[in-house]
Amino acid sequence: MRILITGAAGFVGSHLSEYLLRDANHSIVGIDKLTNNYEPEIKNRNLNYLINHPRFQCLPVDLATDDLNPILQGIDVVYHLAGMPGVRSSWGNEFTEYVQYNILATQRLLEACKGKPIKKFIYVSTSSVYGEMSGKVSEDLKPDPLSPYGITKLTGEYLCHAYYKSWQIPIAILRYFTVYGPRQRPDMAFHIFIKQMLHNQPITINGDGKQSRDFTYIEDCVEGTAAVLDCDACIGKTLNIGGKEKATILEVISILEELLGKKAILQFGPTAKGEPKHTWADISTAQGLLGYNPSTPLKEGLKRELDDLLKLYNLKLP
């Protein structure tokens, strides 16, 4: 199967590419604009395993401006992971980029898929579309995003449904819940916390630290994402991809203190705008359709991310 993965140099995209290439029947066309939302050398590191793989091709494509038709020739499945991430940076003047890379780029990719024999178009969305909910959230709840970022990702979902209904593009939508692990983006909380602790710097916590998340380890996330490839019952559906272990920010820092053998220096700041107090995924749909079964304990996943960051920053624990 010939698979197109947008955002292939990113955190999830690079892991997904590696996972799918384990099957000798798959070849991957990875596209990535290599935007400057974080250091290019980190994205290049993500591609270390992939770049010389005989069944992987990486193209520097801008989904918002380039001609996408030639790239889609011979493609069986599209995984659309590319986009502008981050809740806090989506306010103000930066919103223009979110519109360009999360809405316009998605529409152009869907438009280019019209009339082509695409077997599945898998759009990766986010738990940010839900907004503030209580308890476990299921896919049938009405989305109510709190941030411009969440609004642009939800717009991408609506575009997918429009092209499914009007042009029969076989879409499936995955809503990720706080993915972490090796190669996590440097703007994400665990990466920031670990880096600050390794350098004996204070950790800034937005709010009281009692906000909780449904943390999803990268390998679990990728296994669920890859399983959609063979799930025809997923077409037209939205699925939560979350973890089984919910924790507060303070509980995460406590685990990191244990792993690093040192106390964190905490400083508390204002609550971040646009972020819900709690997230918690109902993953029963993914369990039923995909056999999705996240199994990595939070402490083990954090240790693996720590080990990866020690290599990235060329550091050793005392």
Confidence bin at 244 (pLDDT 50/70/90): confident
Mean pLDDT of 274-301: 97
pLDDT in tens, 28-87: 999 998 766 667 788 889 999 999 999 999 999 999 999 999 999 999 999 999 999 999
Q: Given pLDDT bands bounded at 50, 70 and 90, which one contains residue 318? A: confident
Location of structure tokens 């659309």: 80
- State mean pLDDT over 213-238: 97
Contact between residue 304 and residue 181 where contact means Cβ atoms under 8 Å apart: yes
Q: Is 180 a catalytic residue?
A: no
97-102: which pairs have CB atoms within 8 A and are 24 or more residues apart?
Answer: 98/148, 98/149, 98/152, 99/152, 100/64, 101/35, 101/63, 101/64, 102/149, 102/152, 102/153, 102/155, 102/156
* Residue in this structure with the two tokens 């990466």, named with its chain if needed: 191
CB 247 within 8 A of CB 298: yes
The model's confidence at residue 238, banded by pLDDT at 50, 70 and 90, is: very high
Quick: pLDDT tens for 165-211.
999 999 999 999 999 999 999 999 999 999 999 999 999 999 999 99
SS3 of 266, please? Answer: strand
Which pLDDT score, from 0 to 100, does residue 40 have?
Answer: 75
Residues paired with residue 65 on neighbouring β-strands, in sequence order = none
CB 238 within 8 A of CB 211: no
Q: Are 284 and 130 in contact (CB under 8 A)?
A: no
Spell out the alpha helix ranges (H) of the chain: 11-20, 40-46, 69-72, 95-98, 105-113, 148-167, 189-198, 218-227, 249-260, 284-290, 298-312
Q: Enter the pTM of the model.
A: 0.96
Average pLDDT of the chain is 96
Q: Which residues contact 210 (CB under 8 A, 6 or more apart)?
A: 248, 249, 250
CA–CA–CA angle 285, 286, 291 (5° rounding): 120
pLDDT of residue 191: 97
Domains of the chain, CATH where assigned:
2-180+216-241 (3.40.50.720), 189-213+244-280+296-312 (3.90.25.10)
| Contact (CB, 8 A) for 171 and 161 | yes
What pLDDT score does 273 carry? 93
Taking the C-alpha atoms of residue 261 and residue 197, their distance in angstroms, rounded to an integer, is 10
pLDDT computed for residue 92 by the predictor: 95
Res 308: pLDDT: 97
* Exposure letters 121-144 (e unless 16+ CB within 10 A, then b): bbbbbbbbbbbebeebbebeeebe
| Segment 199-228 mean pLDDT | 96
Over residues 84-136, the pLDDT tens digits come to: 999 999 999 999 999 999 999 999 999 999 999 999 999 999 999 999 998 99
pLDDT, residue 19, reads 98
Spacing of C-alpha 51 from chain mean position: 21
pLDDT at position 35 is 66
Cβ-proximal residues to 156 (8 Å cutoff; 6+ apart), any chain:
83, 102, 103, 106, 123, 125
Tell me which of 130, 149, 164, 180 is the catalytic residue: 149
